[in-house]
Amino acid sequence: MSLQFNVATLLSEPVGATCVYEIDDRVLIDGDEPRHEHAAGRAVFLRTEDGVFVSATLHGVQREACSRCLRDVETPLDLEIREEYFARVDVHTGANLPRPEDPEAFRVDTRHTLDLEDAVRQYWTAALSMQPLCRPDCKGLCPRCGHDLNPGACACRPEEEDARWSALRELAVKREGS
């Protein structure tokens, strides 16, 4: 099923009329490497005075790299989309309707097509982790040789301690002992 819906029939109905759609599609997610990700779920469209209110619950999986060790990570995402789409033209007369107050508001196009893709992309992006991890205790990579430290230590010699940090190190040791 596509993320584009013809809502002409719904816009012809009285305020309060609803339609339910099952969603199972791919959405283009922007980022360092734009790619299509799968989103599935259910959307309820409710006729409002000015257009259509969309209430959707979608699920997807974001594929990205762990921010510490760079392993591939699959992060499940649950999206709760709640947006009103404002009609551009009257479905009965074809007359242009006034613009909504918010210039960034979602709109139903002149052919009465409601495109959910941009809203899904925005909610998806907002749901992403700032620093995805393969696991909470990921040890990351050795800063010198790049070895993944999760399976075990690398062969690098430990760095010599900088004496300027000794007071802070002592405070940390005392705090751990408490």
How crowded is residue 76: how many other Cβ atoms within 10 Å of its Cβ?
8
Angle at 100 between CA 94 and CA 106, to 5 degrees: 85
Q: Are residues 17 and 93 in contact, defined by beta-carbon separation less than 8 angstroms? A: no
Q: List the chain domain ranges.
A: 4-127, 139-178
pLDDT at 162: 82
- Which pLDDT belongs to residue 131? 93
Q: At 76, phi and psi to the nearest 5?
A: -70, 140
Of 136, 161, 131, give the one whose Cα is nearest residue 150: 136
Give the model's pLDDT for residue 30. 76
Dihedral of CA atoms 117, 119, 122, 128 in degrees, nearest 10, equals -80
Per-residue pLDDT of the chain (178 residues), as tens digits, is: 579 999 999 999 999 999 999 999 998 887 667 888 899 999 999 999 999 999 999 999 998 899 999 999 999 999 999 999 999 999 999 999 999 999 999 999 999 999 999 999 999 999 998 999 999 999 999 998 999 999 999 999 877 778 888 889 889 888 887 6
pTM > 0.85: yes or no: no
| Residue 48, pLDDT score | 97
* Distance between CA atoms of residues 67 and 130, nearest Å: 9
